[in-house]
Amino acid sequence: MNNRVDLVEKITPWRESWKVHVKVVKLWYHKNPALDPSQNLLHMVLMDEKLHKIQATIRDKLIPNFAVSLTEGEVYLMTHFTVVPNTGLNRAVKHRFRLLFQYKTSVVSVVSIRIPHSGLCFTSIDEIDQRTKDDDFLIDFVGIITGVRKERDVASYGKMIKAVVLEVFSDGKKVQCNVFGNACDLLEYDNLQKYPRSLLIVLESFKIKAIEGGVMLQNVMNVSRLFINPDIPESVEFLSRFSVASYGFSRLVTNELGYLVSKVDGDFFNPKEISNIQDLCADNGDGHYFVIGTIKEVMDEPDWWYYSCVCGHVVVEHEDLYLFDACGSCIEHVMVK
């Protein structure tokens, strides 16, 4: 019996007897109303232990054979595919080829192998700014929401859909992001304003669009996803890169035009805002404070810092778990603040 497992990066069309251990990092159904609105396809992004990814597609007639066996985030042993060129205007991965499931394709759940990585691979804002034309490959991006503007509903294949324009900040720059369809439900003003601090957003599988004078990001309906303050290691890693002395973000508030905005202050230090210790003792609110003083002693007791979730709320450590203080829900990834 051949127990050899192939690497995703080695897959080519020259044979069908491929055997891979892969995690389903993304799964979505998609119809193309411009071609055949009755034809349903099930797409996946698969990732192996080396973090190499490839897209796989299940045609309409085969979906009932496999859909019940596939769960996003789980690891499988998969064998026997048709391998075809990875073409199209919205490619979720950069692999040269993609997999087509056949009747004889085998999918077996594997519990002995874990691939903990989320599969997200963030493109920097500098890389985005360098693009001069629409890109066929979809990208992941992470940043801080600094603006939200609702637009009028737009027509799409005979239906009216929602539209929202975001302004997202990362590494000292801002980029516009257009969001259409059901993804706008997550961007309702009331929902965004309930958070006590500026919001981190993860954009998964978004398209880079060239516009006059620059570029912007745009979602592909039924493919792209966005996440607000997700409880993942990448959120903590991104927020940890921001120094208090470098940027300050206000919470989202409504401006005179009715849009949501968050002030980003690159020169955050203001000599007029220097506080003394008495002021700190009298103020119970969260915020950034500037105090001039002399260090008299370094305390060993951990009473001057706390654990926080990505949203900014206090979490409590309890038997190797972190619990959100307000409701008791479990948080996996925390920051020290």
Domains 8-109 and 125-252 share a fold: yes
Question: Which positions ≥6 away from 221 have C-beta within 8 Å?
Answer: 156, 161, 180, 181, 182, 183
Task: Note down pLDDT in tens along the chain; length 337 residues.
Answer: 557 899 999 999 988 889 999 999 999 998 765 555 567 899 999 999 999 999 999 999 999 999 999 999 999 999 999 999 999 888 999 999 999 999 999 999 998 788 988 999 999 999 999 988 888 999 999 999 999 999 999 998 888 999 999 999 998 889 999 999 999 999 999 989 888 778 999 999 999 999 887 899 999 988 999 999 998 999 888 888 765 445 667 788 898 889 999 876 654 455 666 778 887 777 766 666 777 788 888 877 767 778 888 877 788 887 777 877 655 578 888 888 7
Distance between CA atoms of 306 and 293, rounded to whole angstroms? 22
What are the extents of the domains in the chain?
8-109, 125-252
Which residues, listed in sequence order, are joined to residue 261 by a DSSP beta bridge? 147, 253
HEC assignment per residue over 67-110: HHHCCCCCEEEEEEEEEEECCCCCECCCCCEEEEEEEEEEEEEC
Question: Which positions ≥6 away from 301 have C-beta within 8 Å?
Answer: none
Neighbouring C-beta atoms of residue 96, cutoff 10 Å: 14
Which CATH code is given to the segment(s) 125-252? 2.40.50.140
Distance between CA atoms of 86 and 46, rounded to whole angstroms? 14
Distance between CA atoms of 324 and 307, rounded to whole angstroms? 10
Distance between CA atoms of 179 and 216, rounded to whole angstroms? 11
Distance between CA atoms of 100 and 114, rounded to whole angstroms? 24
Its pTM surpasses 0.75: yes
Q: How far is CA 199 from CA 190, 239, 282, in A?
A: 13, 10, 28
Enter the tokens of residue 69: 């066996």
Largest distance between two CA atoms of the chain: 75
Q: How far is CA 155 from CA 3, 150, 163, 225, 253, in A?
A: 52, 15, 10, 20, 29
Q: 130: which DSSP letter?
A: T
Which CATH code is given to the segment(s) 8-109? 2.40.50.140
